[in-house]
Chains A and B, each alone.
Chain A
């Protein structure tokens, strides 16, 4: 029997608590028979003390110094017996030099969270007023690994077949109109799975759910007096713990189970789960920030420091995690492996990922070991890895991110090109042709699946606001409208902000439909932002990171006020899923390699076979030959897309179909409700098969059958 093994018996005792020498691996606190194994690394601490609390108690009930002989290399490890797994909270005190100029910031008066803690207490309920005098505000706890996954495992959907929905846990169901019992939680999302299915997406990407502190930098809105908080959560307190305040059961410490239940349920419904992970910095800020964990455990290891001992700030938030230090690299790897194996996460999107390719002195590496390790990791082998391929330090790597045949990217150039094209900028046709093909100019060797296509994401205007505002309106963030990007490439359609003008409103809706259409007929992997399917507005605020308000909460009544948008989004998503010719894993070859009479892709203009590449052109049409779907392995219908961003309607001549099939109209964004898009299989026959008028600033999609 396990509990008679000799190594499960204590050898030491301190103030009535029994313990023995521990195991250095794994790092963190691990339940073992009769006790808990604690292991923590510090390259420069002189000594370490394990601090034990009863859950929520103001003072620790025990502080056990690690005996010298319990340190192996730079790792302090100890197994403590007879602990109450449920009620235990633990932390460390590290003693060592405080010499910031040399990179050391030890302070044994501070109780530190374990970087490897699997659950963190202290912010158990969203926006519940914390005890500001707590001696240990973010408390490491134990996680149980007894969740019953039944037969679940990550879905491993081919990435080209995904339609991603970027979502904020709290924003999705916090609005009263969500009418869900557990508003703003993992459980709330679970209650909306039928909605996600009816929309037609098959992957959700959750904005940060690692434990963060919504109270970080909290302040008052100068205009409304409302509290501004860290709503988005791009500021990690602990990489292994889910955000307790996002769980309805967080106050019971059951957030792990609630999140796993959500993931299991999403998987049952064919929906993958991606996490937006923030490994570029932590919540400890710069030299003026709080010491929570990393800074006090091993400042020099975890952070990129200037020669004077200050923090490099490539993230724009105060500090930069030292990702290519071998120890930090291993932590990132351990962390992602944990989320992939214990939470069945299907993919990760790395915030400001260009930082992950910087050396310890901040310079960009040509062969960054962290990115390579992640790409070749056996446990992450089937996970999708997506980079936000830039950082706040000016490193912009869209198209050149070190990919190792694995990494995909948020294609910022796709966003910028499509926005400028929709707004009517000249000189965009050549670039548009690249974007709809999956950007072969950027990803010639990596294929279209390297391109995560999007027109709007959490960062910036919502899709609707892009056509309702020329300029950002961020006054409510309390920074005199200085925050947020200025290069939005947006156009207000003729009036800044809300209006009753039916023509302006019609154009806005049409532009939203144009954007959704272009996104769904482009090769690559489409991503839409939560709410864009129903015209969600942030009232012109393009940087709502601090707004825990209706500006960020999805207003479900928009489904009633903008039924045309939702219906359109549903049908265009279905169209993408129904047509494999839109979801190629490889780039087009631009010739007919199956003998169908058409090349796999061909470009057209107002004249068939004669695209207008000139600088003043605003028109582009393309035809995808159905016989070339998925490299010619599947037969699909042939699809023709005409895009006219000119301010007048234009006649487009159509390519003649040789096989006897006829053009049918699937979508025409210039039409009013119910004629703008049709159900798959019920597309009406186009009267004149030789050509048709495409309205001003409109997109038309035809299918041949």
Chain B
């Protein structure tokens, strides 16, 4: 499945929608997108993963990168991730750094 990514920043909320497979090649695209939205200093990062089928270690690293790039003040929401992705987040302890939700609360 091809990887697609869309982003918008509204009122300090950066929303990124990911779909397809996030492997080490597409992780670079993801990282560029993070760098782009970081320029607007968002306080919340909402990652819509409902249609993301797979996330490799490279993808996970971008989540860590997001936190490092935008500081601890950034709240990250992972919206509707598929079970395999939640599983990987849990095994590697990343679930503590993000909020896994069914819907972005705001």
The interface of chain A, by Cβ under 8 A from chain B, is 55, 84, 86-87, 144, 146-148, 181-182, 185, 187, 247-249, 252-254, 257-258, 260-261, 264-265
Contact = CB atoms under 8 A, between A and B. Distances in A.
A261 B58 contact: no
B88 A249 contact: yes
Chain A: interface secondary structure? Answer: loop
Interface string B21-65: 000100100000000000000000000000000001110110011
B91 A86 contact: no
A264 B93 contact: yes
Interface residues of B, number: 20
28 contacts: A84-B24, A86-B24, A86-B27, A86-B56, A144-B61, A144-B64, A146-B61, A146-B64, A147-B64, A148-B64, A181-B87, A185-B91, A187-B90, A187-B91, A249-B57, A249-B91, A252-B56, A252-B88, A254-B57, A254-B88, A257-B92, A257-B94, A258-B91, A258-B92, A260-B93, A261-B91, A261-B93, A265-B93
Nearest to B95: A261
B28 to A, nearest CB: 9
Nearest to B93: A261
B57 A253 contact: yes
A187 B91 CA distance: 6
Contacts of A148: 64, 67, 93, 96-97
A185 B88 CA distance: 13
Contacts of A249: 57, 88, 91-92
Most buried by B among A55, A257, A260: A257
Contacts of A87: 24, 58
Given A148-B97, A187-B91, A257-B60, 9 more contacts: A144-B64, A148-B64, A148-B93, A187-B90, A247-B91, A253-B57, A257-B92, A257-B93, A261-B93
B31 to A, nearest CB: 11
A261 to B, nearest CB: 3
Nearest to B24: A86
A86 B55 CA distance: 13
Contact of B91 (A146, A147, A248, A253): A248
Contacts of A187: 90-91
B93 A252 contact: no
A257 to B, nearest CB: 4
B39 to A, nearest CB: 16
Interface string B81-105: 0000001101111101100000000
Contact of A182 (B64, B67, B91): B91
Contacts of B68: 146
A147 B97 CA distance: 11
A438 B78 CA distance: 54
Contacts of A185: 91
A148 B68 CA distance: 10
Contacts of B87: 181
A87 B61 CA distance: 13
Given A86-B57, A254-B60, A146 B65 contact: yes
Nearest to A260: B93
A147 B90 CA distance: 14
Contacts of B61: 86, 144, 146
A440 to B, nearest CB: 44
Among all A-B residue pairs, the 7 with the closest Cβ atoms: A261-B93, A257-B92, A86-B58, A86-B24, A187-B91, A252-B57, A254-B57
A247 B88 CA distance: 11
Contacts of A252: 56-57, 60, 88
A258 to B, nearest CB: 5
A253 B56 CA distance: 9
A86 B30 CA distance: 14
A257 B56 CA distance: 13
A182 B57 CA distance: 18
Contacts of B92: 249, 254, 257-258, 261
A76 B46 CA distance: 46
Contacts of A265: 93
B75 to A, nearest CB: 15
A84 B57 CA distance: 13
A314 to B, nearest CB: 39
Residue from A146, A247, A264 whose CB has the most chain B CB atoms within 10 Å: A146
Nearest to A256: B92
Contacts of A264: 93
Nearest to B92: A257
Contacts of A248: 91
Contacts of B24: 55, 84, 86-87
Contacts of B64: 144, 146-148
A264 B68 CA distance: 19
Among B60, B68, B93: residue with most chain A CB under 10 A: B93
A185 B90 CA distance: 13
A86 B64 CA distance: 14
B89 to A, nearest CB: 10
A187 B93 CA distance: 9
A589 to B, nearest CB: 48
Nearest to A182: B91
A248 to B, nearest CB: 5
Contacts of A86: 24, 27, 56-58, 61
A121 to B, nearest CB: 12
B66 to A, nearest CB: 11
B13 to A, nearest CB: 23
A553 to B, nearest CB: 20
B90 to A, nearest CB: 8
Contacts of B96: 148
A182 B94 CA distance: 16
Contacts of A257: 60, 92-94
Q: Which of B27, B56, B58, B92 has the most CB of A within 10 A?
A: B92
A261 B68 CA distance: 18
> Most A CB atoms within 10 A — which of B24, B27, B56, B57?
B57
Contacts of B93: 148, 257-258, 260-261, 264-265
Contacts of A182: 91
Contacts of A181: 87
Contacts of B90: 187
Contacts of A260: 93
Nearest to B68: A146
A185 B92 CA distance: 12
Most B Cβ at <10 Å: residue of A144, A148, A187, A247:
A148
A294 to B, nearest CB: 28
B84 to A, nearest CB: 11
Contacts of A254: 57, 60, 88, 91-92
A55 B27 CA distance: 15
B15 to A, nearest CB: 23
Nearest to A181: B87
Nearest to A252: B57
Contacts of B60: 252, 254, 257
